[in-house]
Amino acid sequence: MLFTSIDCLKLKKVNEQKVIARSATAQFDALKNQLDPHFLFNSLNVLVSLIEENPKAATKFTTSLSKVYRYVLEQRNKELVTVDEELSFARAYVGLLKTRFEDSIEIDIPQKSSNPEMKVVPLSLQLLLENAVKHNVVSDSKPLKLRIYEDNNQLIIENNLQKKQVATTSSGVGLQNIASRYQLLTKRKMSIAQDDQFFRVQIPILIKSQDVLTANIEDMTPVEDIKLIKAKERVASIKEFYDDVVKTVGILLFLAAINYFTSDFPWVIFPAIGMSIGLVFQYLRTYENNAFLGKGWEDRKIEELMNDKNF
C-alpha cells in the first residue's frame, strides 16, 4: 500500500514536470516565431523609405539585408548562441543601420568575447540595437552612440539617451521577448537601467550548465511519447522550412517589382542569391542531410561510437 502510494506520487510529479516542460517549450517556440516577421516587417519599412530618399543606398541595404536575414533563418530556432556569433551578427546589422543613417550612428562592438563558450539568446543584440534606434533621436547634429561590452558576466548594450519628442508606438516584441526567453531558460534575469545620460540593458551571459534550467523530457517520458514528440518536432521543422520558402519568394517578388520600377540594374540578383543560400542550409538541417557527410550521418556516428567498446 505504501509503495503504491509512493509510485502514484512519483507518477503525479513526473506528469506535472512533463506538462511544465511542454508548456515552456511551446512558450519558447511562440517567442522565437515572433522574431522573423518582426525583423522582416521593420526591415521592409526601412527599405521602402530608403527607396524614396536614396535609391543607391536602398540597393546596398537590400544586399546587406539578404545576409542578415540568412542569419535570422539559421539562428532563430536555437535556444542559445555564442556571444561571438551574436557580436558578428550585430556588426552585420549595424551595417544596415549605417546604410540608412550613415555617420549619425556611432557604435563600439568588441571583435570577440573573452570566452568562446559564453552564450546568449539569439537575436538579442539586434533587437536591442533596433530598440535604441527606434526610441532615440538619430541625426548628424545628435548622433546616437552605442556601446556593447562585457561586465560581471553580463553583456551590456548602452546608448546615450536622447529620446524622441513624439512617443514611438511599441509592438512589445523587443525587450519583452528577450526577457521572456531568458525567463524560460535561466533564473538569471535581464535588467534595464537608465539615468539622465544613458540607457543600459544587461543580458545574462550563460556559461555553466547550471546557468540553464533543463527539463530532460526523455528521462521521464515513455518511448511512444518520445517518438510522438520527435515526430511533431520534425513536422514543425518541415512546415517552418516551407513557410520560409513562401515568405522568401514573396519578398523576392516584392524586391523584383521595386527593382523593375526604380532601376535598370538588376540588383535583385544579390538578395536572391543570399536568401537562396540560406534556404539551402535550412533544407539540409530540416532533412538532416549534410552536404559532405551524407544524410543521417550524425545518427550513424552516434550508433558507431555507442557500439565501440573502447570509446
Residue whose entry in the numeric block shows the C-alpha cell 510522438: 228
Note the pLDDT of residue 99. 78
How does DSSP assign the chain, residue by residue? Answer: -HHHHHHHHHHHHHHHHHHHHHHHHHHHHHHHHHHHHHHHHHHHHHHHHHHHH-HHHHHHHHHHHHHHHHHHHHHTT-S-EEHHHHHHHHHHHHHHHHHHHGGGEEEE--SS-S-TT-EE-TTHHHHHHHHHHHHB--SSSS-EEEEEEEETTEEEEEEE--B-SSPPP--S-HHHHHHHHHHHH-S---EEEE-SSEEEEEEE-B-SGGGS----GGGGS-HHHHHHHHHHHHHHHHHHHHHHHHHHHHHHHHHHHHHHHH-SS-TTHHHHHHHHHHHHHHHHHHTTEETTTEETHHHHHHHHHHH-TT-
Identify residue 61 by its one-letter amino acid code: F
Taking the alpha carbons of 27, 28, 33, 35 in that order, is the dihedral positive or negative? positive
Q: From CA 283, how far away is CA 244, in angstroms rounded? A: 10
* 103 and 143 Cβ atoms separated by less than 8 Å: yes
* Cα–Cα separations (whole angstroms), residue 264 to 95, 174, 205, 258, 268: 25, 37, 47, 11, 11
| Grid cell at residue 197 | 545620460
Note the pLDDT of residue 23. 44
Could you please state the CATH topology (level 3) that the domain comprising 19-217 is classified under.
Answer: Heat Shock Protein 90 (3.30.565)
Question: Domain residues of the chain, as ranges?
Answer: 19-217, 222-311
Give residues with Cβ within 8 angstroms of 236, minimum separation 6. 29
| Grid cell at residue 14 | 513526473
Q: Tens place of pLDDT for every residue, the chain, 311 residues?
A: 544 554 555 555 545 444 444 444 444 444 444 444 556 666 777 777 777 777 777 777 777 777 777 777 777 677 888 999 999 989 988 888 887 788 899 999 999 999 888 999 888 898 899 889 888 999 999 999 999 999 999 999 999 999 887 765 555 567 888 888 888 788 888 999 999 899 999 999 987 544 655 444 343 334 344 455 556 666 677 777 888 888 888 888 988 888 888 888 888 888 888 888 888 887 877 776 655 545 555 555 545 544 555 54
Taking the alpha carbons of 268, 44, 177, 248 in that order, is the dihedral positive or negative? negative
Note the pLDDT of residue 262. 84
Helix 223-262 with 2-53: angle, nearest 10 deg? 0
Residue 248 region, left (φ>0) first, then alpha (ψ -120 to 50), else beta?
Answer: alpha
Give residues with Cβ within 8 angstroms of 106, minimum separation 6. 143, 144, 145, 146
Note the pLDDT of residue 193. 93
Note the pLDDT of residue 234. 67
| Grid cell at residue 123 | 537575436
Note the pLDDT of residue 33. 47
